Homo-oligomer: A and B are copies of this chain.
């Protein structure tokens, strides 16, 4: 899916919401645990229920890797299912990768070929040649960490305005139209400034929900020019309840969010 289609979906579905599947097998409802692949079943049920009310799905690879090759299998099954059954959802591998060129080429193969994600999150620390392998694919996107939602953003991203340097330098790279940027809702004060230098690129915004970012200010500061933002929520939706009616609880959080945000 390309970013023009994604923006159209946002407008027609009236939602910026990206569903974060940080699926922890220790937190999913008990009644699912007897199936062969509870994590996949949980993911499938959430996406099937919510697909008309979200535009994107972000799968956080750490939660799958923590279960070894069984977890990797749940990851592959989840992305395959979403791509086959919900082709209108933009998919994000939240993997925070990037390495020297020949290694990044392998990560791009893993997430764009072996699996068919539309995009992947990357750390910019190693610079252009660690990112460019991901930008060679048609209609695939590299989402650079710029200003993250966690406290540690104060350590290196904010001093000397490193996050602005990341954005402005990367805007000059080849295929920069295929870049997106992570900007935490907990840093919404900076969104207007960031929007000024990334007019056309999508922003992926975590930090609403469990992390406590301000929704109204986030939207006000990032959507003056266009609607190219994705707001991710993970835990506050997928663990809204862990009873048998967890899907009803999740849907209620999604409905409330969409009502407040669009």
Partner of A128, one of B71, B94, B124, B152: B152
Interface check A87, CB cutoff 8 A: no
- Complex Cα distance, B169 from A152, in Å, reads 12
Contact status A62-B107, CB under 8 Å: yes
Interface readout for A149-172 with B: 1 if CB under 8 Å, 0 if not? 111111111011010011001000
- Complex Cα distance, B165 from A128, in Å, reads 21
Query: How many copies are assembled?
Result: 2
**Min CB distance, A86 to chain B, in Å?**
21
**Min CB distance, A208 to chain B, in Å?**
14
Contact status A126-B150, CB under 8 Å: yes
Inter-chain pairs besides A62-B97, A124-B155, 18 sampled, C-beta below 8 Å: A60-B99, A62-B103, A63-B103, A66-B106, A66-B109, A66-B113, A69-B73, A100-B148, A123-B126, A124-B125, A125-B125, A125-B145, A126-B148, A126-B152, A127-B154, A129-B150, A129-B151, A156-B169
> 5 tightest A-B contacts by CB?
A127-B152, A127-B155, A62-B106, A65-B110, A123-B123
Q: List, sorted by A's number, 8 A–B pairs whose CB atoms are closer than 8 Å.
A: A60-B103, A62-B107, A68-B76, A69-B73, A98-B123, A126-B145, A126-B153, A129-B152
